[in-house]
Each structure stands twice: as C-alpha cells, then as structure tokens.
C-alpha cells in the first residue's frame, strides 16, 4: 500500500492530460514542482494522520445518545488538523481564507485522503462543497461569517435533501419554509443526512431544500442555510436517530427534524435546486475521487499480495508467486487499467472545469456537463468493483478483516446510490446531455478524442460506432419509454468510449480490445 506510488501515478497522468498544460499557462503559480510538493504532503498527511483512524472508525462507529452524535476518539483532532493544514480550503477563494488552488489540484489530492479514511472525508467533502455554495449564493454578510469558519474547520456543513417520501423525486418534498417578517422559519423532516450531527466542529450549517410556495414540482422549492445553533442556543434542529449501515460506520447518517428553525435564504426564492447544484456538482466529482481512492488502495494491495503469495507451479519445484499465473495476471491487469483510466478521467474533467471557469468557454462547459455523470457513476462503481476483484485475487485472505479490502468494499457500496443513483445519472446523461443539450458536450468529446487518436484504427473505429450510437439514441426520442429503458446501456457504452480514448492517452493500448468488446455489448443493448 504505497501512497507515494499513487502520487507518482497521478503526476504521470497529469502530465499527459492536455488540459493541464493549458491550465498551467492560465495559473502561473501552479507549476509541476509545486503540485508535486502539494501531493507528497497530502500523501504524508493521509498516511500518517488519517489512515490509522479508518479501522478504528469502522469498528467503533458513530454513536447517538441524548440527541447528539459523537465520533471515535481521534476523529475531531484529525478534522481540525486537516483544516489547519489548509486541505479543507484548497480550492476556495482567498477572500474567505482559502488557497484558491485550481480544482485540478484538489481533485488530485483528495483521492489520497479518501483512500486513507473515507468516513471522515465525508464531513470534509460536504463542508468544502458548502463553502463554495455559500461563497456564491449567500448574501455577503452570511458568506463572510460562514465561509472562513468552514474553511478553518471551526464550523462544518452538510446537505439536506431527502425525505421519507421524497428521495430522487425532489419535487415531492414536504419540508416547508415560511417568511415571518424578516425571518424564514423551517419545519419538516429529512433523512439520509451524512454528518447531520457530530462533534467535529463547534457549529453545523444545514443546506436545506424546503418548499416556499404551492407551485408544483421543483418550482416551489428554495434553498436555505439552517444553523444548528444560534448564539449558543439550539435552533430547533433535532436529531432523531442514526442509521445502522453496511459501511462508513464512522460517518453518521442522520434522520432529523426541523422545528421552527430559523433560516437564511440562499439565492432566489423558488430556485433552490439550481442553486444547490453548485454544491451537488462538486460532490459528484468528489464521488469519483472517493471511488478512485479506494480503487487505488485495492489495486495496490492486490499487486503486493500477488507478488508475495506463493502457490502452484511445477510440483518438483518451489511454488511460484501467484502473479506468475496467467489468470491472476489478467485480473491484476484489469483492475489496474480500471483504476488508472478513472484517474485520467478525474483529471480530465477537473482540468476542463477549471479552464471553462477561467475562460468562460461555453463549449467546454457543455463538455464538463457531459462528463460529470460518467465520472460520478463509474468512479463510484470502480470504488466497489476494484476491491471486489482484489478480494478474489487474495482469495480467502481477502474475505477476512486481516486485510482492509472487505472494509473498502462495504464503504464504497453507497457511492453509486448517493448524489444521484446510477439510474438517475443515466437519465440525466440521455435526456439532458444528449437530447436537451443536443449533444453539444458529446461533440466536444468526439473532437478531442479523434484529435488524440491520431492514426489508431481501433480507437477511431470505436469512436465512429459511438457517434452512430448517439444518432440512434437521438432518434429514439419519439419512443421515450423505450429510450429510457436503454439509458443505462447507453451511458455504459459512453464510458467504454471515454475509457478507450483515455487508455490510448496513457499508453494502455492492451486495454483497447477489451474496452471495444464491452462497448459492443452495451451498444447492442441499445438496439
């Protein structure tokens, strides 16, 4: 398990990412040597401070008593150190105490932290995303009060969307906010709230969606900041319980109730969901980083184990290490390819998001919108699939708690559920990115991929087939139900096309035949 090896792999792929070269010219303070130093420091912090907490957190978990949640010993101090070291505000603007580094640097560093202690990083991820949200959507006084305290780790924040009868169907939520004079008052229930309560910080801000009028669906929903305390007194935020879960035991998932809670309106009334997407988009990219962190750990474990474990070979000779067996080599090659393609994809998206923000390039913004469902979903799936395959390589040993693979597997299972399930990502990818946006982001991908493909017949042929598949899926708008039934297959075919282009970029041409075969399968499912 080498954190430094993960840094080295990241730097190699970053150097091969065309957007990184462009971004460096736009951000002159962010040179290769500086980024290397940042990532090496992140690796040291992850390995030295965070990683020892992960098995402890899994075993002890979060505890709920007398209406409050407490975390295992060491978690609060680690969160404080994390913030004081500057990691929490890496890409937050300097006006509010952040370091204003490119999102790319943050996306390169955070998989190291996610690898070390995913449960604690759940708090860091939501707090960081809230800092961005408040810096953009809050009034100046609220932003000036909250964002510096979030960046410093004195305060923390979370996102409150789901309700007992309104999960992905946000338009049916019932939590209400009422204007009373100069104040907004929130009443209602929320469930599945990660770090809805904890003892990491002095104060917690809840970014809450609530209905403010009778307009149907999401048009009647607004976004609010609801502090858990005001002037040292409770603000009507009640924690009812925490969930017992498959994994992420030290990440408290809360059921909570708002009773006459005072709130601050964020952005415009009735535009709560669009305002919240400033936070959700960052958290979806963060899900890709979480998956990459756990996939990196699992791939490293499997390779190290296979290089030492001896089994089989000629009966009259000493047993050989299992990495010499062809089937084990195949498995190792596949999980490493999955991991490094995801790493390339995360860095590709992050650099594009940075450049689009700096330059205002509308086409590049379309491209990032097209890529985001892919990174969220397939980063999540890699976070589960790679540990699952690594357990197979270790055999019975991998199934035991002697190795952390089973913990990584359990922790990662939720990644493809929260921040938009796989099905929701597929619907978004088809109906918004292809139909509503008329495939603008797809066109940018095709142009970039073909330019990089050069004279590779295999990759160019796959890209041609993917373009034809897009034409076919556009034509299916006339039969919506049939198209939606095939949305998942279409998204998976897209990921195979993206993976093939990125495999070619990073020099893994051996992966192309396998990716082409998988593309053909998913494309056939769209027929």
Domains and CATH numbers, the chain: 3-155 (1.10.540.10), 157-270 (2.40.110.10), 422-527 (no CATH)
The arithmetic mean of pLDDT across residues 447-476, rounded, is 95
pLDDT band at 1 (very low <50, low <70, confident <90, very high): low
Note the pLDDT tens digit of each residue in 133-152.
999 999 999 999 999 999 99
In 3-state terms, what secondary structure has residue 439? coil
Average pLDDT over residues 5-12: 96
Residues in the chain: 527
pLDDT bin (cut points 50, 70, 90) of residue 325 is very high
Ramachandran angles phi, psi of 431, nearest 5°: -80, -30
Cβ neighbours of residue 229 closer than 8 Å, sequence gap 6 or more: 203, 204, 235
Q: Are 50 and 80 in contact (CB under 8 A)?
A: no
The answer to whether the CB of 173 falls within 8 A of the CB of 221 is yes
Q: Does residue 157 contact residue 125 with C-beta atoms inside 8 Å?
A: no
pLDDT at 290: 98
Mean pLDDT of the chain: 95
Distances in Å between the alpha carbon of 379 and those of 168, 435, 441?
20, 24, 19
Provide the β-strand partners of residue 186: 177, 261
Contact 142, 134 (CB under 8 A): yes
Q: How far is CA 326 from CA 313, 388, 416, 518, in A?
A: 12, 19, 31, 21
Grade residue 2 by pLDDT with cuts at 50, 70 and 90: confident
**What is the rounded CA–CA span in Å between residue 453 and residue 459?**
6
Look at 319 and 82; give whichever has higher pLDDT: 82
pLDDT at 502 over 90: yes
Residues 113, 50: Cα–Cα separation, whole Å: 7
Q: Average pLDDT in the 88-92 region?
A: 95
Tell me the mean pLDDT in the region 166-193.
Answer: 92
pTM greater than the 0.85 cutoff: yes
Residue 218 · residue 197 · CB < 8 Å: no
Closest to 257 measured CA to CA, from 166, 186, 169, 168:
186
Q: Of the candidates 281, 268, 298, which has an alpha carbon nearest to the alpha carbon of residue 420?
A: 281
**Stronger pLDDT, 214 or 86, i.e. the higher one:** 86
pLDDT band at 161 (very low <50, low <70, confident <90, very high): very high
Given a cut of 90, whether residue 90 has pLDDT beyond it is: yes
Task: Name which of 13, 46, 7, 2 is nearest 343 in CA terms.
Answer: 13
Instruction: Just list the catalytic residues.
Output: 419
Classify the phi-psi angles of 207: left when phi > 0, otherwise alpha if psi is within -120 to 50, otherwise beta.
beta
User: Which residues 6+ apart lie within 8 Å of 99 measured at CB?
Assistant: 86, 89, 90, 91, 92
| pLDDT reading at 27 higher than 90 | no
């Amino acid at each position: 398990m080498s954190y430094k090896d993960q840094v080295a792999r990241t730097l190699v792929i970053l150097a091969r990412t065309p957007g990184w070269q462009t971004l460096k010219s736009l951000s002159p303070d962010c040179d290769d040597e500086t980024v290397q130093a940042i990532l090496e420091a992140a690796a040291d912090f992850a390995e030295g401070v965070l990683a020892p907490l992960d098995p402890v957190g899994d075993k002890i978990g979060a505890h709920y008593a007398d209406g409050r949640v407490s975390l295992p010993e060491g978690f609060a101090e680690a969160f404080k150190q994390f913030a004081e070291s500057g990691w929490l505000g890496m890409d937050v603007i300097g006006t509010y105490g952040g370091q204003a580094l490119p999102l790319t640097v943050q996306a390169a560093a955070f998989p190291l932290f996610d690898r070390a202690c995913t449960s604690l990083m759940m708090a860091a991820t939501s707090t960081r995303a809230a800092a961005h949200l408040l810096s953009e959507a809050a009034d100046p006084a609220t932003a000036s009060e909250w964002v510096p305290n979030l960046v410093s780790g004195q305060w923390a924040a979370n996102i409150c969307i789901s309700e007992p009868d309104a999960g992905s169907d946000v338009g049916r939520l019932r939590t209400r906010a009422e204007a009373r004079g100069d104040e907004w008052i929130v009443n209602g229930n929320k469930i599945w709230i990660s770090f809805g309560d904890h003892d990491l910080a002095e104060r917690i801000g809840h970014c809450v969606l609530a209905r403010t009028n009778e307009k149907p669906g999401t048009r009647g929903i607004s976004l609010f900041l609801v502090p858990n305390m005001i002037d040292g007194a409770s603000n009507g935020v009640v924690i009812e319980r925490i969930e017992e879960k498959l994994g992420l035991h030290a990440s408290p998932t809360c059921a909570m109730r708002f009773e006459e809670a005072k709130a601050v309106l964020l952005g415009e009334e009735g535009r709560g969901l669009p305002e919240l997407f400033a936070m959700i988009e960052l958290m979806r990219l963060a899900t890709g980083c979480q998956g990459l962190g756990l996939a990196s750990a699992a791939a490293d474990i499997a390779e190290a184990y296979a290089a030492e474990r001896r089994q089989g070979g000629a009966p009259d000779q000493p047993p050989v290490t299992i990495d010499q067996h062809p089937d084990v080599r195949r498995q190792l090659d596949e999980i490493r390819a999955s991991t490094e393609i995801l790493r390339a994809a995360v860095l590709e998206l992050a650099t594009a998001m940075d450049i689009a923000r700096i330059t205002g390039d509308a086409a590049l913004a379309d491209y990032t919108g097209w890529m985001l469902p892919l990174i969220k979903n397939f980063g999540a799936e890699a976070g589960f699939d790679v540990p699952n395959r690594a357990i197979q390589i270790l055999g019975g040993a991998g199934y035991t708690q002697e190795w952390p693979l089973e913990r990584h597997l359990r922790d990662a299972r939720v990644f493809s559920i929260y921040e938009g399930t796989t099905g929701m990502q597929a619907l978004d990818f088809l109906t918004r990115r292809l139909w509503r946006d008329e495939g603008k982001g797809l066109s940018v991908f095709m142009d970039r991929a073909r330019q990089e493909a050069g004279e590779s017949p295999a990759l160019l042929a796959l890209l041609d087939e993917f373009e034809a598949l897009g034409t076919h899926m556009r034509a299916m708008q006339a039969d919506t139900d049939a198209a939606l039934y095939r949305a998942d297959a279409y998204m998976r075919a897209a990921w195979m096309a993206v993976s093939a282009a990125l495999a070619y970029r990073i020099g893994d041409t051996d992966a192309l035949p396998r990716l082409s075969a998988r593309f053909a399968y998913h494309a056939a499912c769209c027929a």
